[in-house]
């Protein structure tokens, strides 16, 4: 058994320092030079200047249909003094692109010539030498440079090469990237059967390979190896002697007891950086083994992607003699306060959308292991390490993860979570492929605050008025005074306690939450579900003190359901649909109204119009009904119009 040993970060560097070290140590490296057919060279990078071996055109040719002539034979011709020329001796019929007779040096357009007979034509204007003629070398001259070294070939470039007599080109070989997933806990994505506790599907390798292909490289994705010194050493020997230009070792790069990458790299070569002050991506290792750059890529998926983008992507460009391109970015206004850790360059995933002519950036969940924070994100906000955060309303620069033009078609929804939102997002995309629903789950009250600040197109809300038993109206009156909104019902839905199959703790009422053998999972403060839970306790004259897990919060119904399914909690309050989705039992407690609140300023937006059409469609209502626990009789119905001071319409 190997001795337990915990490493430390050997050479923690700032992101800028690490980037400079990496560029300085690897900037001179290039991939091999290979020769490829010009016709197949799209996107490849030239390894040397390309010189034409043929002039284009290589003959004097007619630039249009007409008659080739000697220009001097036309001098003096005019409307009042037409000249007659002899066909075959002084004029020669030509079509566009046809070679001129040796004695000709100009072309008269066909419309300026009158045919008198089979042997005679009449002209009424003169031409000057080389008029309407494509001269030899007008486009390309043999011996001139067509394209320089380190140029990425475009479609038009291929045409110029072939025309200029260059059928083959010397290019930098595509960067070959060795990708080695490590981890004794990793399981192949195609593995059959249920995963055991502690087992993880290996998908980082696929993501990294896709990033390599997307950026013009050739991935060598390897099978998983265990976290063992000898295994990593053998792998490094094989990778160093392979044709790969770069070696990526995924996971095993932090300071854990089984993280051997830095040790092996140091023994076989050099370690320049072990740890970068970036988050996610801190455990990155940079070094070289036997002349090959090696990157220790962190194991968490978001960390892996960001580490790749900061270090591997630039190297893939410099290996071909190119400068790394800048990431496209846009200015935006931060939708809420964003704290950050001093001393770490933080990459925060955000959703983006144009609300009232202003681009709003709303931060998403931050975890380095949350891959969906990238699949849901529209952009990445980089918070400098010298800042402790950013203020709400501050203008920031956001790197785009979606095309810029798609932001106009992004519908921002901030507020309470509901399972129907996935159906809504899919239906929007089905109806108009440009449409994109970006949602941020901050609870019902958080949604009202976003509306008040003008940061969202709509929000989801199910806020219970504990005095009247009604939903949403009183909260609009309290928090949106001066802001006009409309309330549209999405559905009535069942809320209740989720328990594992068979209800092993025999949970039936809120009183059971106080038993010492019961652990509860709560929703975040400000959410409609949290307000409902507290209301149920209040009705029974109970305090939350004594409920195990009351302070443990989740932001979605599905997150509550997963906690119950996994055994972290015995029960939690959530909607019926989340119980049905994960095969849990459901103990109904209340029926509530879930509304969509739409600011009056967004009501006539084309995107909102499409959304309202969907809500009123039979297909959407049927899909929502099938989720379980929903009453969609009033789906899409306008429930109230608030002008900022009072209700002009209101349906109880």
Helices (H), 311-357: 313-318
| 102-106, 189-193, 562-566: least confidently modelled range | 189-193
Cα–Cα distance for residue pair 451/415, rounded to 1 Å: 9
The average confidence (pLDDT) of the chain is 92
Q: Stretch 411-416: mean pLDDT, rounded?
A: 93
Of the pLDDT bands very low, low, confident and very high (cuts 50, 70, 90), residue 651 is confident
Of the pLDDT bands very low, low, confident and very high (cuts 50, 70, 90), residue 268 is very high
Residue written as token pair 């379980």:
628
Query: Which pLDDT does position 36 carry in this prediction?
Result: 98
**Domains, the chain:** 15-29+175-190+199-318 (3.40.980.10), 33-56+139-172 (3.90.105.10), 61-134 (2.170.190.11), 332-402 (2.40.340.10), 445-650 (3.40.190.10)
- Are 365 and 373 a contacting pair, CB within 8 Å? yes
DSSP 511: G
pLDDT at 4 over 50: no
Q: Stretch 323-334: mean pLDDT, rounded?
A: 93
- pLDDT per residue over 30-58, tens digit each? 999 999 999 999 999 999 999 999 999 99
Of the pLDDT bands very low, low, confident and very high (cuts 50, 70, 90), residue 11 is low
| 312-326, 438-452, 480-494: least confidently modelled range | 438-452
Query: Which pLDDT does position 440 carry in this prediction?
Result: 85
Residue written as token pair 């075959």:
88
- Are 592 and 471 a contacting pair, CB within 8 Å? yes
% of the chain exceeding 70 in pLDDT: 97
Half-sphere exposure of 81 (CA within 13 A, CB side): 6
- Are 415 and 437 a contacting pair, CB within 8 Å? no
- The alpha carbon torsion through 617, 623, 624, 626 (nearest 10 deg) reads 140
pLDDT at 12 over 60: yes
pLDDT at 1 over 50: no
- pLDDT per residue over 53-74, tens digit each? 999 999 999 999 999 999 999 9
Cα–Cα distance for residue pair 162/143, rounded to 1 Å: 14
- pLDDT per residue over 237-263, tens digit each? 999 999 999 999 998 655 544 568 999
- Are 176 and 312 a contacting pair, CB within 8 Å? no
| 167-176, 412-421, 480-489: least confidently modelled range | 412-421
Query: Which pLDDT does position 257 carry in this prediction?
Result: 46
Cα–Cα distance for residue pair 316/311, rounded to 1 Å: 9
Measure CA of the first residue to CA of the last residue in the chain; give whole Å: 70
Of the pLDDT bands very low, low, confident and very high (cuts 50, 70, 90), residue 193 is confident
Cα–Cα distance for residue pair 414/394, rounded to 1 Å: 19
- pLDDT per residue over 504-533, tens digit each? 999 999 999 999 999 999 999 989 999 999
Query: Which pLDDT does position 57 carry in this prediction?
Result: 94
What would the two tokens of residue 312 be? 């591997």
Of the pLDDT bands very low, low, confident and very high (cuts 50, 70, 90), residue 189 is confident
pLDDT at 278 over 60: yes
Query: Which pLDDT does position 439 carry in this prediction?
Result: 86
Helices (H), 336-377: 372-375
pLDDT at 29 over 80: yes
- pLDDT per residue over 567-613, tens digit each? 999 999 999 999 999 999 999 999 999 999 999 999 999 999 999 99
Closest CA to 602 of 440, 362, 419, 413: 413
- Surface-to-core class of residue 233, CB atoms within 10 Å of its CB (0-12 exposed, 13-18 middle, 19+ buried): middle
Q: Stretch 454-478: mean pLDDT, rounded?
A: 94
Backbone φ, ψ for residue 309 (5° rounding): -65, -35
Helices and strands of the chain, counted as H and E runs: 16, 39
Secondary structure class of 365 (helix, strand, coil): coil
- Are 383 and 389 a contacting pair, CB within 8 Å? yes
Query: Which pLDDT does position 190 carry in this prediction?
Result: 78
- Are 292 and 36 a contacting pair, CB within 8 Å? no
Of the pLDDT bands very low, low, confident and very high (cuts 50, 70, 90), residue 5 is very low
Of the pLDDT bands very low, low, confident and very high (cuts 50, 70, 90), residue 23 is very high
Of the pLDDT bands very low, low, confident and very high (cuts 50, 70, 90), residue 2 is very low
Q: Stretch 360-370: mean pLDDT, rounded?
A: 81
- Are 333 and 360 a contacting pair, CB within 8 Å? yes
How many other C-beta atoms lie within 10 A of the C-beta of residue 574? Answer: 31
Closest CA to 575 of 565, 589, 564: 589
Closest CA to 481 of 643, 602, 355: 643
pLDDT at 405 over 90: no
Query: Which pLDDT does position 299 carry in this prediction?
Result: 92
pLDDT at 631 over 80: yes
């Amino acid at each position: 058994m190997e001795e337990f040993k915990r490493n430390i970060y050997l050479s923690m560097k700032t992101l800028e320092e690490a980037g400079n070290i990496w560029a300085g140590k690897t900037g001179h490296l290039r991939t091999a030079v290979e020769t490829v057919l010009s016709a197949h060279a799209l996107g490849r990078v030239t390894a040397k200047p390309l010189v034409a071996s043929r002039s284009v055109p290589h003959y004097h040719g007619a630039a249009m249909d007409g008659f080739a002539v000697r220009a001097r034979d036309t001098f003096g011709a005019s409307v009042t003094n037409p000249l007659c020329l002899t066909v075959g001796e002084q004029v020669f019929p030509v079509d566009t692109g046809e070679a001129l007779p040796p004695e000709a040096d100009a072309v008269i357009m066909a419309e300026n010539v009158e045919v008198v007979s089979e042997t005679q034509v009449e002209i009424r204007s003169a031409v000057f030498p080389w008029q309407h003629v494509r001269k030899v070398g007008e486009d390309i001259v043999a011996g001139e440079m067509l394209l320089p070294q380190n140029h990425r070939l475009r479609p038009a470039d291929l045409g110029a090469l072939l025309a200029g007599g260059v059928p083959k080109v010397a290019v930098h070989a595509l960067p070959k990237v060795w990708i080695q997933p490590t981890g004794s806990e990793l399981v192949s994505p195609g593995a059959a059967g249920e995963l055991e506790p502690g087992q993880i599907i290996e998908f980082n390798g696929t993501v990294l390979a896709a990033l390599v292909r997307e950026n013009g490289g050739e991935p060598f994705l390897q099978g998983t190896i265990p976290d063992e010194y000898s295994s990593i050493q053998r792998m490094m020997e094989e990778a160093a002697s392979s044709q790969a230009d770069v070696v990526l070792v995924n996971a095993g790069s932090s300071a854990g007891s089984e993280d051997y990458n830095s040790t092996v790299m140091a023994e076989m070569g050099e370690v320049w950086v072990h740890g970068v002050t970036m988050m996610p991506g801190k455990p990155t290792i940079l070094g070289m083994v036997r002349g090959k750059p090696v990157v220790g890529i962190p194991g968490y998926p978001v960390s892996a992607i960001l580490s790749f983008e900061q270090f591997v992507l630039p190297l893939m460009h410099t290996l071909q003699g190119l400068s790394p391109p800048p990431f496209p970015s846009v200015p935006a206004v931060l939708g809420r306060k964003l704290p950050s850790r001093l001393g770490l360059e933080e990459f925060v995933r955000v959703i983006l959308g144009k609300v009232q002519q202003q681009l709003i950036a709303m931060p998403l969940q931050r975890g380095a292991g949350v891959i969906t924070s990238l699949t849901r994100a529209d952009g990445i906000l980089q918070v400098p390490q010298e800042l402790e955060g950013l203020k709400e309303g501050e203008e920031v620069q956001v790197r785009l993860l979606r095309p810029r033009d798609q932001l106009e078609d992004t519908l921002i929804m901030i507020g309470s979570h509901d399972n129907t939102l996935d159906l809504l997002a899919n239906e929007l995309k089905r109806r108009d492929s440009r449409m994109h629903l970006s949602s941020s789950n901050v609870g019902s009250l958080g949604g009202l605050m976003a509306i008040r600040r003008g940061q969202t197109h709509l929000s989801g809300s199910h806020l219970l008025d504990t005095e009247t038993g009604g939903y949403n109206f009183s909260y609009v009156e309290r928090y949106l005074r001066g802001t006009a909104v409309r309330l549209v019902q999405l559905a009535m839905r069942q809320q209740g306690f989720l328990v594992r199959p068979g209800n092993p703790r025999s949970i039936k009422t809120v009183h059971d939450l106080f038993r010492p053998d019961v652990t509860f999972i709560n929703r975040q403060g400000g959410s409609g579900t949290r307000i409902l839970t507290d209301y149920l306790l209040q009705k029974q004259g109970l305090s939350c003190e004594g409920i195990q897990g009351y302070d443990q919060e989740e932001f979605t119904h599905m997150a509550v359901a997963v906690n119950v399914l996994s055994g972290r909690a015995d029960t939690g309050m959530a909607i019926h649909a989340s119980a049905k989705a994960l095969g849990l039992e459901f103990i109904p407690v209340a029926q509530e109204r879930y509304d969509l609140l739409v600011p009056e300023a967004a009501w006539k937006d084309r995107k909102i119009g499409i959304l309202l059409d969907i809500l009123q469609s039979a297909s959407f209502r049927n899909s929502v009904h099938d989720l379980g626990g929903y009453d969609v009789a009033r789906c899409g119905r306008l429930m109230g119009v608030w002008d900022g001071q009072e209700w002009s319409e209101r349906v109880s």
